[in-house]
Amino acid sequence: MTEEAKIPLLGMTLMELKSVVAQIGMPVFFARQMADWIYVKKVASIDDMTNISVRNRRALNESYTIGCSAPIDKQCSADGTIKYLYRTAAGKYIETVYIPDDDRATLCVSSQVGCKMNCRFCMTGKQGFSGNLTAADILNQLYSLPERDALTNVVFMGQGEPMDNLDAVLRATEILVADYGYAWSPKRITVSTVGLKKGLKRFLDESECHLAVSMHNPFPEQRAELMPAEKGFGIREIVDVLKIYDFTHQRRLSFEYTMFEGVNDTEAHARELLRLLEGMECRLNLICFHPVPGVDLKGTSEEKMVRFRDFLTRHGLFTTIRASRGQDIYAACGLLSTAKQQGLEL
């Protein structure tokens, strides 16, 4: 069997690894040993699992592979941000962004190749949708990262809509928090969404990871002009669903708000945000817009963003301005992979 045809062990849960060892005729406890080799020791090859017999390793190698692959390109920013380009098992291209910040290091991972949501301001949406990532593709972004040992946090805010590929996202986050896996606290993981009704409810019921909702405009009609997903499941309905859940303990709820000059940065927008989010335990993250080719939107000035933040803060809504990173590289999501897919020089 060719290496490409083999089944990746990366991305398998402990139960799935138990099925693998059972098929080969290995004792069931070998599954946890394999999980340790993969998720703790992060081996690159089945042959590196030295406490498994040569015969069993040979049997595993016939049909399985670890499934890891190094990034094929990168762009480095003067501020330390690094955008990596990965080739998926299906031969597509995705981006991952490593963001160091003092004692923190966050990795922004992708969940799909392209995206169906087609948000007006997002380059990934302009690629169209090419397919879902597997759990192996998602985890490989951490597994094969040169700076993997420095990571403190992961955010699912890269290419794609996580709730549109929820099975793979939940499998990946399970492995990240499981005692047989990375053993991370769910507080180290944030999953972002534009708000897909079925996926959102399932995520809230099945995961304890933080949630970030892409809002970008509190007025439904205006939000629909930026985000077509508003027409299927509106921001007001999303907020109504979120109010059912408890965010006063470990899990954090945040709303993402990219600011566009003259589009969503007026006092009227600020007051509607206060009305919409009244009584909710949440935070609002204001984001500087990175220009995208062919998009007729301009980012709000830093001075105006500060006034917007201060107005909301004075009125009781915890609001922050997210530091803009990687502006001297292909910073906006989707630019690097689009360039690669179109055969442009990087």
Q: Cite the active site residues.
A: 95, 333
Query: How far apart are alpha carbons 254 and 123 in whole angstroms?
Result: 23
Query: Residue 212 in contact with residue 260, Cβ under 8 Å?
Result: no
Query: Residue 213 in contact with residue 256, Cβ under 8 Å?
Result: yes
Query: Residue 123 in contact with residue 335, Cβ under 8 Å?
Result: yes
How far, in Å, are 23, 97, 116, 261 from residue 162 at the CA level?
Answer: 32, 16, 11, 28
How far, in Å, are 94, 124, 285 from residue 292 at the CA level?
Answer: 17, 10, 20
The structure tokens listed for 256 are 């993402």
Query: How far apart are alpha carbons 102 and 271 in whole angstroms?
Result: 34
Task: Specify the residue for token string 């991370």.
Answer: 184
Q: With H, G, I as helix, E, B as strand and everything else as coil, classify residue 52.
A: coil
The phi, psi pair for 25, rounded to 5°, reads: 90, 20
The phi, psi pair for 104, rounded to 5°, reads: -115, 150
Chain-centre distance for alpha carbon 261: 27
Return all residues near 56 (Cβ < 8 A) that are at least 6 apart.
Answer: 24, 26, 30
Return all residues near 267 (Cβ < 8 A) that are at least 6 apart.
Answer: 311
DSSP 68-83: ----SEEEE-TTS-EE
CB atoms near residue 76 (< 10 Å): 14
Query: How far apart are alpha carbons 333 and 10 in whole angstroms?
Result: 25
Provide the angle, in degrees to the nearest 10, between the axes of the packed helices 166-177 and 197-206. Answer: 20
